[in-house]
Structure 1
Amino acid sequence: MGSCVAKQGLSPGVKKLVIDIFKEIDTDGSNCIDIHETLKFWHDNYAKINTRAIFEAVDIDKNEKIDEKEWIAFWTKVKKSGHSEKDIQDELLNLRNRGSWVQFKGIRSMNSKKLD
């Protein structure tokens, strides 16, 4: 019997969580996450390290901004690499609680940027 959720895509619930967290980080409502927003988001939790890691992993076009399309594409890629939706949801909730950015197995960094 088939499933209404594609094996490789995100379920509607996880996709909603992905978008909700994007909007939490995008405090100016520009539909892009910039370096200043991520530094502010993590504040005391290794902000520079976490910011560098998120941009290396997600900023595909290396323009120092993460748009919603890049953000969703990243989490979809995580799912396609073999991570379960439960694992993705757990990491998203950790992120929401200002936990550290994780490097996902099978996902290589797209960019290498130094933050000073």
Structure 2
Amino acid sequence: MGSCISEQGLSSKTKKLAIEIFREIDTDGNKCIDINETIKFWHDNFAKVNSRAIFEAVDIDKNDKIDEKEWISFWTRVKKSGHLEEDIQEELLNLRNRGSWVQFKGVRNMSAKKID
């Protein structure tokens, strides 16, 4: 019998963690993360720099919002680029603790917008 999770997809544990953190950032509960929410999320930890980086990496359609599908798609691309599940979980936990956004080797940025 085969697994329900493709070898390149996220494990249910990692996907659950990613969704939990998405919802922590999405403070208004509209199922989209916007710039104001990310700046508020990082508050004192280079909020604008981190916000710019997250949107460059994750906002696929460049509409200045990150929905849950884009969020999960990003983390799936991270795994497909060769990063280990444990490393992804570590970075997600780092985000939960308001750590800086990291650029993942082999995962290209999606846009390059300036955040004022």
Identity percentage of aligned residues? 77
Deviation, structure 1 residue 89: 0.2
Deviations 1:58-102 (A, max 9, x none): 000000000000000000000000000000000000000000000
Deviation, structure 1 residue 5: 3.5
What is the aligned partner in structure 2 of residue 47 from structure 1?
Answer: 47
What is the aligned partner in structure 2 of residue 108 from structure 1?
Answer: 108
Q: How many residues align?
A: 116
What CA RMSD, in Å, does the superposition of the two structures yield over aligned residues?
1.2
Q: What runs of 5+ residues in structure 2 fail to find an aligned partner?
A: none
What is the aligned partner in structure 1 of residue 58 from structure 2?
Answer: 58
Aligned amino acid, residue 100 of structure 1: S
What is the aligned partner in structure 2 of residue 6 from structure 1?
Answer: 6
* Secondary structure of the structure 2 residue equivalent to 1:51: helix
Aligned amino acid, residue 95 of structure 1: L
* Secondary structure of the structure 1 residue equivalent to 2:33: strand
CA distance in structure 2 between the partners assigned to 1:3 and 1:58 by the alignment: 27
Aligned amino acid, residue 89 of structure 2: Q
Aligned amino acid, residue 97 of structure 1: N
CA distance in structure 2 between the partners assigned to 1:2 and 1:55 by the alignment: 35
What is the aligned partner in structure 2 of residue 27 from structure 1?
Answer: 27
Structure 1 stretches of 4+ with a deviation exceeding 6 A read none
Aligned amino acid, residue 66 of structure 1: I
Aligned amino acid, residue 36 of structure 2: H
Aligned amino acid, residue 91 of structure 2: E
TM-score normalised according to structure 2 size: 0.96
